[in-house]
């Protein structure tokens, strides 16, 4: 049975607590891999004062659950915890946590990277940065699309 926790929230998260909860879910776990994404203070050559993230409640969580299911079909994982923040964030703030458990590190590393690549390109989030030049919406980068192609997943 796959132990999954998906949250889209404005509140910050405690990485140590989230990893503890993931590990507590299954005694077979021998490996946990995690990724934490944070707000950078610069992007595309401009200083970033804040970033605002928006989403479609319900649809976003369903999309992420689909991603976790796809990961579980590709990799022998036991659980996943994904937290993605929305709302107004400042440089240094945590944006996203992807944590995956398995029996061995290889599966955890691959599934974590797969899920992060999937989130960057397919999850229905919209990002707006506040810069000295004004507010601007952030598009997916070419490198994000290339990462998805590496997994053999088509662009939507």
Q: Specify the DSSP class assigned to residue 155.
A: P
Q: Which residues contact 152 (CB under 8 A, 6 or more apart)?
A: none
Backbone CA torsion sign across 118, 121, 122, 128 = positive
Predicted confidence (pLDDT) per residue in 67-122, tens digit: 999 999 999 999 999 999 999 999 999 999 999 999 999 999 999 999 999 898 88
Predicted confidence (pLDDT) per residue in 32-65, tens digit: 999 999 999 998 888 999 999 999 999 999 999 9
State whether residue 11 is helix, strand or coil: coil
| pTM for the full predicted model | 0.91
Q: Where are the alpha helices (DSSP H) in the chain?
A: 15-24, 59-74, 105-122, 142-150
């Amino acid at each position: 049975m796959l132990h999954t926790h998906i949250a889209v929230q404005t509140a910050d998260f405690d990485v140590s607590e989230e990893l503890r909860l993931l590990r507590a879910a299954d005694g077979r776990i021998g490996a946990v891999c995690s990724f934490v994404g944070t707000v950078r203070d610069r992007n595309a050559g401009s200083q970033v004062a804040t970033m605002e993230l928006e989403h479609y409640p319900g649809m976003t969580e369903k999309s992420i659950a689909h991603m976790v299911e796809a990961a579980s079909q590709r990799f022998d994982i036991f659980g996943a915890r994904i937290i993605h923040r929305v709302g107004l964030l400042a440089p240094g703030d945590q944006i996203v946590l992807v944590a995956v458990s398995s029996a061995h590190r290889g599966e955890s590393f691959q599934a974590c990277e797969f899920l992060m690549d999937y989130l960057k390109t397919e999850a229905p989030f919209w990002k707006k940065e506040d810069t000295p030049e004004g507010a601007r919406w952030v598009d997916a980068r070419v490198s994000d699309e290339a990462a998805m192609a590496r997994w053999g997943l088509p662009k939507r």
